[in-house]
Structure 1
Amino acid sequence: MPAALRAIAPDAAEAEVAAALTAVRAVDEACHAGDGAGVLDEAAHLRLAHDGLAGARLWLATDAEEPVGFALLTGESLDLAVAPTARRAGTGTALAAAAVAEAGPRLLAWSHVDHPGAASLARQHDLHAVRELLVMARPATDLPAPPERDDVRVRAYDPAAPGDAADLLRINAAAFAHHPEQGAMDADDLARRTAQDWFDPAGLLLAVDAATGATLGFHWTKIEPAVADGGTTGEVYVVGVAPEAQGRGLGKLLTLAGLHHLADRGVTEIELYVEGDNHPARAVYAGLGFEVVATHVQYARG
């Protein structure tokens, strides 16, 4: 029997919205524990933390007053989750029906870890797989040494230097011009990310032309606070190279510099996310010992 559904309006009382967001995070954490991946990505977590339900619709599924699922519709993007212990009871079907009925003609939804239940719901609502995001990982041991370079030096990002932030945003926008999420990062997004507990300027590495001082690319690494001191997993968060600096081997140089930084911080495994159709990047990462360990699929309608 499906759990009970309740719609939470964006303009609901502050206490009701806060309680609903706590329930959403609880379901997301249950999915992370059961599936190895949560449903909400970093952008969604930041949006909920800073904007609440502004511009969004939320449906909560509860069983005996306990949250067991949710559907979050933000613009044309849908995040839907059912806790592992509450699946196969029709709750996901009911949540999807409620959200799709309110969605516009175009709809996007991610299936993290490529769950078969998500594929079934997508077929029911005429959504088709349009994008793959691969998770690749490798141990943080036996790393190749970074190449010796006289023409480029690698240094840490300086939050107090306005030029570093401007260069980072410029290169990111150019390098990810066709990326629907990363390429949209602006000054406000950068400020939100650098305000997170995990941010460490020493882990945001810039490649600088030794002759001109121009910033050519960056490698932003990430270690969650829970594993920052002798923990297990570090992340190749973003690697970007300015288009005018392509062909100089900076992608491999920056990647290796970041991998060694993560290893020096005590992580034992390093992971990254890469678009399934980004074959040049996949080749670089495979050459550095990364292997595909999971696949996320995006479905679309319209």
Structure 2
Amino acid sequence: MDADRLRQIADVAADSEAADGAAPIDEATWLALRNRPDDVAWWVTDEGFALVIGGDLSLAVRPSARERGVAGSLLADALAAYDGSLRAWSHADHPGAAKLAARHGFDRVRELWVMRRPGSKPTGPVALPEGVNIRSFHPKDEAELLRVNSESFHSHPEQGQMSASDFAERTGEPWFDPSGLLVAMRGGHMLGFHWTKQHSAALGEVYVVGVAPEAQGMGLGKALTRAGLDHLAGRGVSEVELYVESDNAAAIHVYDGLGFTHDDRDTHVMYARS
């Protein structure tokens, strides 16, 4: 995929985000476009695009070209190439996406919430289990972090699949700051981590919090989350966001207690067609 095609996709995506209030392409798709373009099947015009990576569809239409059948045409091309079996996220639960999904036999199968809190809101004390300390990531920690990630997200469809090359892609992004990747250690053994992300001067993110099964039930997840929030507050962000599965009641309970709230408009929906 050449630079002109990437600019075309970025231009449609920017117009869509400005109109809809949510980006139509997620981080994993952008990483693939920039680093592994051969993994992406694409249908791109000036009016819109459809991108497919491993059965996952991203589709957007420029606002000025909507209600003209562009989305249906792009989706039909993608479905024909993949024997009709695809998954797709609707960011911000767009009503147009719901209509398109129903028209083409997609079912609503998953919801992801965005939760938010003020960056300056106090988090409370970081209470650590005995013998555990939290420090910033060092390159020598990579193997341990990948182990903890695999163990703590073994059933998660995206995060649990993070490989060494995936980790290298993310740490190679301009936003990566090793001081914001906090690891909980007992001796030389990692028990958990909190990877924070700073999108801008004003916006931070609880990017990933992982706790090894052996350390669950010790309050380490909450301690790591508080430590990461303190780090982002020190960077001066005014808002912190996070993403959580809508049916993960235990995680939502923790985030509620830390001052995060969810607005129904901040819901991402996955549709699937088999």
TM over 0.5: yes
Give 1:51 deviation, angstroms. Answer: 1.7
> Structure 2, unaligned stretches of length 5 or more?
none
**Aligned with 1:187 (options 164, 188, 191):** 164
Secondary structure of residue in 2 paired with 1:72: strand
Deviations 1:254-273 (A, max 9, x none): 00000010010010000000
Aligned-partner SS, 1:154: strand
The partner residue of 1:222 within 197, 216, 232 is: 197
The separation in 1 between residues aligned to 2:173 and 2:190, in whole angstroms, is 24
Of the candidates 171, 175, 182, which is equivalent to residue 152 of structure 2? 175
Match of 1:286 among 243, 247, 256: 256
Matched to 1:215, the amino acid is M
Greater relative contact order structure (CA < 8 Å, 6+ sep): 2
The DSSP-based 3-state class of the residue aligned with 2:133 is: strand
Matches within 5 A, 1:26-65: 26-52=11-37, 54-61=38-45
Pairs aligned (count): 271
- Give, in whole Å, the separation in 2 of the partners of 1:219 and 1:271: 14
2:173 corresponds in structure 1 to 196
- TM-score normalised by the chain length of structure 1: 0.86
Question: In the TM superposition, what is the alpha-carbon distance from 1:85 to its structure 2 partner?
Answer: 2.8
| Alpha-carbon distance in structure 1 between the residues aligned to 2:42 and 2:103 | 21
Q: Distance in 1 between matches of 2:177 and 2:40?
A: 31
**Residues 258-297 of structure 1: matches in 2 within 5 Å?**
258-293=228-263, 294-297=266-269
Letter paired with 2:40: A
- The 8 Å contact of residues 197 and 204 in structure 2, kept in 1 or not, is answered as yes
Amino acid in structure 1 at the alignment position of 2:77: A
Q: CA RMSD, aligned part only?
A: 1.4
Alignment counterpart, residue 99 of structure 1, candidates 70, 78, 81: 78
Which amino acid in structure 2 is aligned with residue 244 of structure 1? E
Task: Within 5 Å, give how 1:108-147 maps onto structure 2.
Answer: 108-147=87-126
- Shift in Å, 1:29: 1.6
Counterpart-to-counterpart distance in 2, 1:275 and 1:193? 22
SS in 2 for 1:44: helix
For residues 207 and 158 of structure 1, the distance between their equivalents in structure 2, rounded to whole angstroms, comes to 12
Task: Tell me the distance in 2 between the aligned counterparts of 1:180 and 1:255.
Answer: 22
Indicate if the aligned counterparts of 1:217 and 1:240 stay in contact, CA closer than 8 A. yes
- CA distance in 1 between partners of 2:207 and 2:153 (Å): 14
Contact kept, 8 Å, 1:76 with 1:104, in 2: the verdict is: no
Q: Which moved more, 1:100-109 or 1:184-193?
A: 100-109
User: Deviations along 1:155-192, whole A, 9 cap, x unmatched?
Assistant: 00012x2xx10111001011111111111101111111
Instruction: Summarize deviations over 1:265-301 as a string: whole Å, max 9, x none.
Output: 0100000000111111111001111011300000001
Superposed displacement of residue 73, structure 1? 2.1
How many angstroms does 1:95 deviate by? 1.4
The separation in 1 between residues aligned to 2:17 and 2:149, in whole angstroms, is 29
Q: Is the 8 A contact 2:126 2:227 kept in 1?
A: no
Question: Match for 2:170: what amino acid?
Answer: R
Partner of 1:156: 136
The answer to whether structure 1 residue 89 and structure 2 residue 64 are counterparts is no
Q: Is the CA contact (8 Å cut-off) linking 1:73 and 1:103 kept in structure 2?
A: no
Structure 1 ranges of 4+ moved more than 6 A: none
Q: Percent identity?
A: 52
Which secondary structure state, in structure 2, belongs to the residue aligned with residue 59 of structure 1?
strand
Code of the aligned partner of 2:33: L
Distance 1:146 1:254 in 2: 11
- Amino acid aligned to 1:50: N
